[in-house]
Amino acid sequence: MPPPSARAADWLEIAVEVAGIDAEAIAETFREHCPGGVAIEPSVRPQGDGYVVDGDAPALVKGYLPPGADSVRLRRSLRIALRFAPLESPPRWRRPRRLREEDWRDSWKRYFRPQRIGRRLLIKPSWATYKVKAADTVIEIDPGMAFGTGQHPTTAMCLRALEDRLRAGDAVLDLGTGSGILAIAAARLGAGRVLALDVDPQAVKAARENAARNGVRDTVEVREGALPEGARGERFDLIVANISGVTIERLAAPFADALRGNGTLIVSGFLEDAVEGLSRLFAEAGLRVERVEAEGVWRALIATRAGHT
How many whole angstroms separate alpha carbon 132 and alpha carbon 124?
Answer: 10
How many whole angstroms separate alpha carbon 269 and alpha carbon 76?
Answer: 28
Q: Checking phi first, is residue 90 left (phi over 0); if not, alpha (psi -120 to 50) or beta?
A: beta
User: How many Å is the maximal CA-CA distance in the chain?
Assistant: 71
How many whole angstroms separate alpha carbon 216 and alpha carbon 214?
Answer: 6
Res 50: pLDDT: 53
Cα separations (Å) of 83 from 65, 87, 183, 244?
Answer: 20, 9, 35, 20
Class of the 115-305 domain?
A: alpha beta
Res 30: pLDDT: 85
Nearest partner of 16 among 6, 25, 26, judged by Cα? 26
Q: Are 282 and 274 in contact (CB under 8 A)?
A: no
How many whole angstroms separate alpha carbon 33 and alpha carbon 19?
Answer: 20
Residue type, 293: E
**Domain residue extents for the chain:** 4-107, 115-305
**Strands of 190-244, DSSP E:** 193-198, 220-224, 236-242
Cα separations (Å) of 175 from 95, 148, 227?
Answer: 36, 12, 8
Cα separations (Å) of 51 from 136, 166, 177?
Answer: 17, 25, 23
Class of the 4-107 domain?
A: alpha beta
Q: pTM higher than 0.85 for the full model?
A: no
Helix spans in 236-274 (H): 245-250, 252-258
Q: Are 302 and 161 in contact (CB under 8 A)?
A: yes
pLDDT tens across the length of the chain (309 residues): 233 333 445 888 889 999 888 887 888 788 778 877 777 777 766 555 555 566 668 888 888 888 777 888 888 888 888 888 888 888 899 998 888 766 666 665 666 677 888 998 988 877 777 778 888 899 988 766 555 666 678 889 999 999 999 999 999 999 999 889 999 999 999 999 999 999 888 889 889 999 999 999 999 999 999 999 989 999 999 999 998 888 999 999 999 999 999 999 999 988 888 999 999 999 999 999 999 999 877 899 999 997 654
